[in-house]
Amino acid sequence: MTLENRRRHCAACGGKASADYRARRNVVTLTGVVALKVQVRVCHREGCALHLRAIRAEEEGLWVLPEQEFGLDVMALVGALRHQAQRSVPFIHTALRARGVPISERSVTNLIDRYEDLLALRVADSAHLQAATLKLGRVVLGIRGPCPGPGEDTLWVLRDCLSGEVLAARSLPECRTAELGALLEEVARSLRVPITGVISSGQGALPGVVAAALPGIPHQFWPAREGGGPEPAVAPGAHRHPGTSPPAPRRPPRALDTRLPPPSLRMKKLFTTLSTTMLLLAAPGARSAEPSRPPHTLTYETYAYSGTLDGQATTVLAPALFANVALSERWTLSAAWLFAYAPARAGGRTAFQVGNPSVGLGTVLWDDGVKVRTGAGLVLPLTLLTDPDAAGSALLRRAATLRGNSGFSLVAPGLLGLTPWADASWRTGRLRLSLDGRLPMAVQLSEARGRRADAVVQLSGAANLDVSSNVIVGTTLQAIYITTAAPQVDPTHFALIPHVRLTGAAGFAEARLVVNLDAPLGFSFSRGGLWAAALALGTSL
C-alpha cells in the first residue's frame, strides 16, 4: 500500500519539501501483513530546524508507531485485554495467535510497556519534549479521542503535529469533559512555546471544550475519514431513502469476550476506529530523533570568472557536475566533474578543458548541535586539453582554484590525486559558522610537464547569516599552504571571499567577490593580487 505525503512545505521554515524517497516497511495487523510504501519528504534549506530530517506521510500513523512492526490495531487489542479484561501476558499471546497474528510473548510485553508509557506522559517532566517543541518555536496541537464503546473510557491523545511528539495521553470517562479541559490547560501551561492551532475530529463536545480551555486559538477539524469534515450528529434513519426499510436495530453492546472469540464485524470496526484515531500517537523522540537518509542529488553549476591575466582582460566559464548517492544513513558516495572554457585571448586559440573526475566517500561523525563530517576523494588523471600552452594551462588552473578547496586538482592536467577532508558546522538562530580543512595531494604523471608531487594544506572558515528565507549573506576566510613549494616561492596565500546567495524552488544564484590578500594563487586573475568575481547557478534533481 502506497502512502502519500500531503505536506509539500516544511513546517519549520515554510520552504519546499521535496519528495526524496519512499520508505518500505511490513506491518503486522489483525487482518494480515501489510507492505507499506511511505512517501518521505525532506527540507534541503540549510539552517532550517528540520534540515535533512524525514517528514513522513501522515497516514503512516494510522497503521503503526515508529520503529514498531505491529500495527496500532494489535496494540489497541493488547491494551484492552491487559487493562480492561485484566488478562495475563500468556493469555494475550494465545489470543493473538488464535487470530493469526505472528507474535511472541516478549513482543506482547513490549506492546504493553509502550501502551503504558503513552498513558504516563507528562510534558513538564520531560526535557526531551520541551527541547523538541522549543526547536520549532510553536506547537500545533492535535487531539484524538477514541472511545471503544458506550459506557467505556475515552483515550484522549494530545500530540504536537510539527515535531511528531505525543504530549499527553489520558483515559477519561466520556461524560467528564471538564477533566479534558483541565488536561488541555495543563499542557498549555507546561509548554514553553505558544500553541498556534488545534486540529481535531470535532467529535461531541470537543469544540466547546477547546474553545473554553484555549480561547482565541484557531481550531480546525481533521476527520478520521478521508476527505470530509467531522461526522454530523443526525437522527437514526435521516439518510434513509423513501421506500426503503428502516435499518435493523443494533445489538446491545457487550463486554469484551475473554474466550478467544473469532474476529467479528463489530470488533473489526472497533479496532479500525481506534487505529485511525491513533494517528497522532508517536513514540517519544522517535520521529524527531529519526535520522533522515541523505537524498540522491545531481547538481549543475556554472561559474563565470572575470579579471586580468598578464595585463589582459580575461573571462573563463567553468561548468561543473556534482552527484551524491546515499549508501546508508551516514555514508554518502560523491562525484565531481569540472569543465573550463576560455575565449580566445590576444589572438590566441580558444581554451577548453574537460577536468579530472573525482569520486569519494563521506560520512557524518557527529550531529548533535555541532555537525562533523569527514571523507576523502580520489582524482583520476583523465583531463582533456585543447589549449596546452603554459598560459592556457595556468589560466584554467587558476579558474579551478578560485572555486576553492581542492578544485585545482580536478582541472590541472595529468594529475592523480587524493584529497582527505573534514568539516564542522554550528548554527545558532540565523547565524551559521563552519570550518573546513583539506589536504589535496597530487602526482604529475605527464613526462612533458615534469614528474612531481604536490601537497597542499587548505583551511577555511565561514560565517553565514540568513537575512530572510531566500537570502543568505556571508564571508569566507581561506588560507593555502603549499608544502612542496620551491624555495623561492611564497608557500602561504590568503583570500577573503564575501558572497550573497539567493535561493528558490528552482535552485540558487550566488555572487562572490574574491579579494586576494597577498600574491595570487588562483584566487585572482590579477598578477598584483587584486580581485576576481564569480557567479554560480545551481539546481538539484
Contact partners, residue 95, CB within 8 Å, separation at least 6 = 77, 81, 87, 260
315 close to 306: Cβ distance less than 8 angstroms: yes
Per-residue pLDDT at 475: 93
184 close to 213: Cβ distance less than 8 angstroms: yes
Binned at pLDDT 50, 70 and 90, residue 525 comes out as very low
Specify whether the backbone of 285 is left (phi greater than 0), alpha (psi in -120 to 50) or beta: left
Per-residue pLDDT at 227: 33
Per-residue pLDDT at 434: 93
Per-residue pLDDT at 253: 42
Instruction: Specify the amino acid at residue 331.
Output: W
User: How high does pLDDT run on average in the chain?
Assistant: 71
- Is pLDDT at 99 greater than 70 in this prediction? yes
pTM confidence score:
0.46
Half-sphere exposure at residue 400, Cβ-oriented, CA atoms within 13 angstroms: 27
Per-residue pLDDT at 154: 64
Take residue 128 and report the three cell numbers written for it: 526531551
Residue range 246-263: mean pLDDT, rounded: 44
| Separation between Cα atoms, residue 470 and residue 525, nearest integer Å | 31
21 close to 293: Cβ distance less than 8 angstroms: yes
How do the domains of the chain map onto residue ranges?
Answer: 2-224+260-280, 297-540
Binned at pLDDT 50, 70 and 90, residue 346 comes out as low
Helix or strand or coil: residue 440? coil
Instruction: Specify the amino acid at residue 338.
Output: L
Residue pLDDT, tens place only, 409-459: 555 666 788 889 999 998 777 788 999 998 888 787 766 656 667 788 889
Per-residue pLDDT at 433: 93
Per-residue pLDDT at 379: 85
- Is pLDDT at 148 greater than 70 in this prediction? no
Task: Provide DSSP, 310-369.
Answer: TTEEEEEEEEEEEEEEESSSSEEEEEEEEEEEE---TT-PPEEEE---EEEEEEEEEEES
Instruction: Specify the amino acid at residue 438.
Output: R
| Sign of torsion over alpha carbons 212, 216, 217, 222 | positive
Length of the chain, in residues: 541
Per-residue pLDDT at 218: 85
Residue range 374-383: mean pLDDT, rounded: 85
Nearest to 305 by CA among 131, 98, 526, 155: 526
Take residue 197 and report the three cell numbers written for it: 492551532
- Is pLDDT at 262 greater than 60 in this prediction? no
Question: 297-540 adopts what CATH topology?
Answer: Porin (2.40.160)
Find residue 200's DSSP bridge partners.
Answer: 143, 221
Task: Provide DSSP, 75-136.
Answer: HHHHHHHHHTS---HHHHHHHHHHTT----HHHHHHHHHHHHHHHT--STT-HHHHHHHHHH
Binned at pLDDT 50, 70 and 90, residue 294 comes out as very low
Find residue 463's DSSP bridge partners.
Answer: 433, 475
